């Protein structure tokens, strides 16, 4: 996905009204300041929960806090660096500025720009995000940067997590008492990078998570296999000492820990290093990219979920885009014995379209195999695979919107159910994996059906033409085979106008929130 990027834009306010910054106050100067030892947050590195009332008290230029997406930042040092001017920034001070921020530049990587200014989290009981609805009753529910509208989580319902550690001659074991019954190892991601050990534990519904990060006191091997008790939710993370028999005086210094599980949308992103080990052309502007992880990484990307890729541009700006991992080929994953990327991945594969004006993809275009410039976040998403149980899949995709649907479709085929794919593209040359999809059709003549629809076909094109419309959708939805809406589940992904129109049409064909999932663009 390529989003609007205003890399030098303001944290709130209109980027078109940029003001001249004083010498020494450029973006690069700000990055230098954030990389220095200056304490910009003023909170001594301890994150706190902050109420709206407390936030409102910090509304002066010398003591200015603002909240974006559930995180509170002390922006007192940022005024002179703000391209939109001091007055614009003041508009967001003392309040939850998420809406103001989103009005102009939702995709600015503020997390990175303001990370040293982080004071804490806006308390969930004082914040219910606005619910955005498209015109149809079906929602493009997946603005994952927004915290989901959870009711307030009391300590008991959120699940307090207590921690402990122990050691023997060769190992150190970190114990987390999560009290999450039914927790399985796939919900536990770990990372060992030098001395920094990070773990994220997802709740049983994957919608909340618990983060724990510690700078270990001594060296360990980059390997950790979590074990978990299904009945109590006790998680044991065994680390292997590099220096056998060394008695550790302490475990290390905590860098990130909160008392319990928090909504996924409010958790700060965690990024892992990777190596670009494959970059091969799929068509005139799409690459298949493989990112391989160093040892010490253990995580699972659920079907229908995505990750964020972070790339540092030549001028030091970090750009982040979301991409859904795919299987490396369609054929490698059609059978039940396929190596699943659900196992702790050593690599993830992505189909990435290069946009000439896109800062992320044009930078990616310049990268060669072997590059270590891309970092990969923990998985993000809210697609619930169990919704599809026992159902056939109606997949409606446009352009690179096919990517999140690939693993979903394979999952359905592997479970012996039918997949019907309506795939919209501009021209024949734009169709991603045309041959591979054709082979899949031949392999599953009764289970997999594909219709290509071109909006800019040449005269010879024998297939369907146009954009999404009632008559095109009728090819699948209104045919006899699909008459029983209840036995189908529809997944939609593409440009936002395309998605909204498709949802509207599905709505009028009898689909409901329970039988449709739209991946937002």
CB 378 within 8 A of CB 307: yes
Nearer to ligand NAD, 173 or 520 (CB): 520
Q: From the CB of 322, what's the least distance to ligand NAD, in Å?
A: 7
Q: What whole-number distance in Å separates Cα of residue 476 and Cα of residue 509?
A: 11
Is position 452 an interface residue for ligand NAD (rule: CB under 6 A)?
Answer: no
Number of residues that bind ligand NAD (CB under 6 A): 26
Is position 358 an interface residue for ligand NAD (rule: CB under 6 A)?
Answer: no
Tokens of 148: 């989901």
Determine which residue in the list 73, 350, 498, 511 makes contact with ligand NAD, applying CB under 6 A.
Answer: 498
CB 266 within 8 A of CB 69: yes
CA dist list (Å): 469 to 17, 303, 504: 40, 28, 10
Is position 399 an interface residue for ligand NAD (rule: CB under 6 A)?
Answer: yes
Is position 268 an interface residue for ligand NAD (rule: CB under 6 A)?
Answer: no
Q: From the CB of 50, what's the least distance to ligand NAD, in Å?
A: 31
Q: From the CB of 437, what's the least distance to ligand NAD, in Å?
A: 16
CB atoms within 10 A of CB 90: 19
Nearer to ligand NAD, 15 or 495 (CB): 495
Determine which residue in the list 313, 455, 475, 485 makes contact with ligand NAD, applying CB under 6 A.
Answer: 455
What binding mask, one character per residue, do residues 30-49 give for ligand NAD by CB under 6 A, x or -? --------------------
Class of residue 421 by CB neighbours under 10 A (exposed 0-12, middle 13-18, buried 19+):
buried
Beta strands in 47-195 (DSSP E): 48-50, 59-60, 63-68, 71-74, 118-122, 162-167, 171-177, 188-193
**Window of 33-41, 128-136, 287-295, 394-402 that interacts with ligand NAD by CB under 6 A:** 394-402
DSSP string computed for 237-251: EEEEBSSTTPPPS--
| Of residues 179-218, those binding ligand NAD (CB under 6 A) | none
Is position 517 an interface residue for ligand NAD (rule: CB under 6 A)?
Answer: no
Nearer to ligand NAD, 359 or 404 (CB): 404
| Of residues 208-267, those binding ligand NAD (CB under 6 A) | none
Determine which residue in the list 426, 438, 465, 470 makes contact with ligand NAD, applying CB under 6 A.
Answer: 426
Q: From the CB of 304, what's the least distance to ligand NAD, in Å?
A: 9
Question: How distant is the alpha carbon of residue 207 from its chain centre?
Answer: 12
Tokens of 335: 């059978």
Q: What whole-number distance in Å separates Cα of residue 331 and Cα of residue 441?
A: 11
Q: From the CB of 191, what's the least distance to ligand NAD, in Å?
A: 24
Residues β-bridged to residue 66: 73
| Of residues 296-335, those binding ligand NAD (CB under 6 A) | 306, 324
Tokens of 362: 């044009």
Nearer to ligand NAD, 511 or 519 (CB): 519
Spatial CB neighbours of 118, under 8 Å, sequence gap ≥ 6:
41, 43, 47, 71, 72, 73, 74, 268
Q: What whole-number distance in Å separates Cα of residue 122 and Cα of residue 55?
A: 8
Q: From the CB of 307, what's the least distance to ligand NAD, in Å?
A: 11
Q: From the CB of 410, what's the least distance to ligand NAD, in Å?
A: 16
Residues in contact with ligand NAD by CB under 6 A are 1, 306, 324, 353, 398-401, 403-404, 424-426, 430, 455, 467-468, 493-495, 497-498, 501, 519-521
């Amino acid at each position: 996905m390529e989003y609007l990027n205003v890399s030098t834009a303001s944290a709130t306010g209109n980027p078109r009204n940029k003001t001249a910054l004083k010498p020494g106050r450029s973006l690069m100067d700000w990055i230098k300041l954030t990389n220095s030892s200056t304490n910009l947050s003023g909170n001594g590195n301890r994150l706190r929960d902050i109420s709206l009332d407390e936030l409102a008290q910090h509304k002066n230029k010398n003591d200015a806090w603002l909240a974006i997406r559930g995180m509170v930042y002390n922006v007192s040092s940022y005024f002179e660096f703000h391209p939109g001017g001091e007055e614009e920034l003041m508009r967001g001070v003392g309040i939850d500025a998420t809406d103001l921020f989103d009005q102009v530049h939702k995709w600015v990587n503020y997390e990175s720009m303001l990370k040293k200014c982080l004071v804490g989290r806006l308390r969930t009981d004082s914040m219910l995000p606005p619910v955005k609805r498209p015109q149809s009753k079906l929602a493009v529910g997946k603005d994952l940067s927004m915290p989901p509208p959870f009711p307030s989580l009391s300590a008991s319902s959120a699940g307090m997590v207590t921690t402990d550690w122990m050691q023997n001659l060769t190992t150190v074991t970190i114990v987390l008492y999560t009290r999450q019954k039914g927790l399985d190892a796939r919900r536990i991601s770990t990372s060992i990078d030098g001395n920094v050990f990070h773990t994220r534990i997802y709740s049983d519904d994957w919608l909340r998570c618990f983060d724990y990060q510690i700078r270990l006191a001594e060296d360990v091997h980059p390997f950790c296999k979590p074990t978990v008790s299904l009945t109590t939710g006790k998680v044991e993370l065994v680390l292997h000492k590099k220096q056998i028999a060394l008695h550790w005086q302490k475990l290390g210094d905590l860098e990130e820990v909160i008392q319990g599980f928090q909504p996924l949308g409010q958790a700060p992103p965690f990024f892992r290093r990777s190596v670009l080990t494959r970059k091969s052309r799929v068509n005139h502007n799409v690459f298949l990219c493989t990112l391989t992880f160093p040892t010490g990484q253990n995580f699972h990307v659920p079907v229908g979920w995505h990750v964020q890729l972070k790339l540092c541009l030549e001028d030091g700006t970090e750009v982040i885009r979301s991409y859904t991992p795919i299987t490396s080929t369609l054929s490698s994953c059609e059978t039940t014995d396929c190596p699943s990327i659900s196992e702790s991945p050593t690599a993830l594969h992505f189909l990435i379209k290069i946009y000439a004006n896109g800062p992320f993809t044009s930078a990616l275009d310049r990268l060669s195999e072997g590059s270590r410039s891309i970092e990969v976040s923990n998985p993000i998403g809210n697609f619930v695979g169990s919704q599809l149980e026992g159902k056939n899949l109606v997949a409606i995709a446009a352009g690179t919107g096919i990517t999140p649907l690939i693993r979903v479709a394979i999952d359905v085929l592997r479970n012996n159910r039918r997949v019907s794919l309506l795939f919209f593209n501009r021209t024949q040359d734009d169709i991603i994996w045309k041959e591979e999809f054709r082979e899949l059709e031949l392999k599953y003549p009764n289970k997999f059906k594909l219709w290509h629809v071109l909006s800019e076909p040449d005269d010879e094109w024998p297939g369907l033409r146009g954009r999404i419309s009632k008559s095109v959708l009728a090819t699948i939805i209104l045919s006899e085979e699909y008459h029983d809406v209840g036995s189908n589940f529809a997944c939609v992904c593409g440009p936002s106008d395309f998605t909204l129109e498709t949802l509207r049409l599905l709505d009028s064909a009898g689909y409901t929130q329970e039988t449709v999932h739209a991946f937002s663009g």
